[in-house]
Structure formats: C-alpha cells, structure tokens
Amino acid sequence: MLASIARIRLGQTSPCQLHRSFTFAPVSNYVKLAYDLHKPAKDTDDASTRNAPIIFIHGLFGSKKNNRSMSKVLARDLKRSVYAVDLRNHGDSAHDSRHDYTALAEDVEGFIDEHGLEKPTLIGHSMGAKTAMTVALRSPHKIANLVSIDNAPVDAALKSDFAKYVQAMKRVEEAGVKRQSEADEILKEYEESLPIRQFLLTNLLRTPANTHRFRIPLRHLAAALPAMADFPFRDPDAARFEGPALFVRGTKSHYVPDETLPIIGRFFPRFRVVDIEAGHWVVSEAPEEFRKAVVEFLQDKD
C-alpha cells in the first residue's frame, strides 16, 4: 500500500461546483492522436503486456516528447506498453478550433478504440489529468484505472502564467526570430525559469523562410484557456468512476488543495493521494519519487 493515503470525509460540495449542468455534444469526427509507443525491453506473451497498456497524456503546451523518458522507465518497470500521445492542437496531432475536455476525452476514447486497447491505465498531467478524469467519468468501462498528476475534478482558475505564455509566444512569432536564442530572450521577459522556457521552446519550428514559429495553434489555445480551467462534470451522484485512482500532488503547487479532497472522493471513491515535494511540474521536478508512486500503485493493481 502507498504510504500516503487520503482519509476523506464525504461532505457536500460547494454550490459553485454543482450549479451548472452540461450537455455533452458529440464530436462528429474525433482527432486521431499522434503517439510514440514505448514497449518493455523484452516483449513477452504475458497478458498484462498485451492487455494492460498505459496512455500517458501531457499538459497544456506540452507534447509526447515531454513524457518520453518517464514512459520508457514505466514500460521497463511495469512490463507494459506505454503510449505517449499528443492531444489535439499539440505536438504532431491535428489542429482543431474546438479545444475543451469533452473533445479531448473523445479523442482519447477514439484512440483506445482505434488501437484496440483493453482496459488501459490513463496517466495525465494538468490538462492531461482533467482529460483522463473526463474519460473515466464518461466511459468508465473503457479504462482500468487512472493517475492524475496535479489537477482535480473542479473548476479552478489557471495560473495567469498560461495566458502570459501565449502572449510571449505570439511576440516571438511577430518578431520573426531566426534563432532559438532570440526567441528565448523574448520569453525571458515573461518567464524567469529556464526549464519552463525550454519547455515552451520545444514547440518552436523553423519555417522555409528561415524564421521560427510555434507548432501549436496559439489562436485556438488562447481562446481555450477558460475551458481549460473548467471541468465538465458537476454532480458526482450522476457520474462516478469506481476503479482505482491515484492523485499525485506537488506540495508547492496550488491545483489540488485539501479542500478538493471531498469532491475527489465522491467522483473517485477508490482514490489515493500521494504528495511529492515539487511544484506543478511534478514529473520533471521529482522523477524518481513520481516513478515510485506510480509503480507501487499500478503493481498493487496487478
């Protein structure tokens, strides 16, 4: 068992969490997601390798590249295939003007069906965490369990940094920079942290005109920021995931405060919480602690 298990009291949710209801309009054609497949070092015929894959879902402005190292480690340690995906409007996946959690979840559900994956584990960070939670509540029969990294199933305002990053990236494109170092100088005006600037710069591409632009559609994502703060489910009595769920919190982050534990417990009654000494970027800041928590949680499910 994990050392840190949430002991929750199933209290009432606040009015702001339940005052709206949503109609889930289907996406006519789900976006096919680009992905990298990381297999265990030695392929076997073991059923857990074939039928218990992991889908690793990045956060806002990220891509499958961000999870490459951890995907390889989890494939090795758990002897499972790991699909690191690019969500719509990110990485190598197609762009679409619609960008909300219902659409993102339907893309992941389409990916599961397209690849014939049986009861996968979903691991998601930030935007990817809310996407994974949305899949679990929409289609609980499709997945075995989930790992949510530093996000909760509630409406919660995004840090102003995300809007600031969009503004910074737009300035980079408007400047027509020809070198990554020039782009970094502009980003530095908006973000002091070198790791975060390097994370944003993974989206930079060179154009045929020898200038740089970002691969992500800034216009679509800027318009989607309010939806990324939202969560499409309000009533845990109407939608609940009964499978195991692990919520990993960064102790220096504000996205999963203690006040969210009761609502997490109502949507995901079999949840555990593990606190890791890190900020919002838990996987990159504390990779070994994250690996241990996930491996222990998923091995406990085997």
**Is 148 an active-site residue?**
no
CA distances from 51 to 117, 122, 146, 293 (A): 7, 13, 15, 22
**Is 126 an active-site residue?**
yes
Catalytic annotation, pick one of 81, 126, 148, 253: 126
Give the residue numbers annotated as catalytic, written as ranges: 126, 280
